[in-house]
Structure 1
Amino acid sequence: MIIRIDNRGLLNVIKADSLVQPASTNLTIERQALRLRRGKALRLIIPATSAGDSMSLRDNKLVALIAESRAIMNQVLTKADKSIPTLAAEQGRCRVRMMKVAKLVCLDPYIVTAIVEGRQPLNLSPGKLLAADLPLAWADQRRVLGFR
């Protein structure tokens, strides 16, 4: 991505004093950017260039899915006499989605931590996480979801 700023135009926009003269060369900023499409949204991601330049890509919808899975499993444990479909019916929720979300409680702790810290793969979306056929082995889960 290249951003070029016209010095004279910038001075006009900020209504600088007419005595201020623009520099002889325009400002140019060049950075590598990644295009990331999630559903209908398109984002430009500019990766960090140094260790001190950390950038969080925390996806609050992914974090909410993890939290929802914990809440569902808490309900299952506290109401052991009721199945997930029964709990879903009582709450007016979709039983299929509730079952998919409940399975996320078995995610590798490394994956959960990475999601909470915003270190998940750029292409991991809530839809992809719910649709994934996740194996039980944590190393295989990392591979399926694109973790290295």
Structure 2
Amino acid sequence: MPRSRRVAPRSPRRLARDRHGRGMRSPVTGPHLPLLSTRLDDFELTIGTTVSYLRGLWPELEGVVFEVAQAPAEAIHDDHIDRWKVYHDERRIVFFRLPIVRFLRLQEGEDRDEKLLVESCVFRAVADFLGRDPWELAPGRYRHL
């Protein structure tokens, strides 16, 4: 089974530990540049912010655990590839990063489209958990003014 990571709010990164008596190490980027973020960090941030938004709207999501894994053990089925897995009895939803991100047909620099796809996967997984249509989760969000 793949190793999964729980989605939690990000805390500021700390300096690395004291090695061989040389003192604390500073970040690679230096003091004047922002810390480096990886694609996994960006993916988890998108899922975390979307989950926080949905938890504010749906109290039924209290206590539900959201996790991120690289890929499922058995992802390929006859008619689809799993992008998330909902465990109703455990109150847990696992998102599989590689099937979500790798099947995008995006050009370089289309980060906004990737973020929208990840958000739509979160909406569909939560809708599956709640037994609702994804569009019912945030009805005022998609209203045309």
Between 1 and 2, higher relative CO (CA 8 Å, sep ≥ 6) is seen in: 2
- Rg larger in 1 or in 2? 1
Same fold (TM over 0.5): no
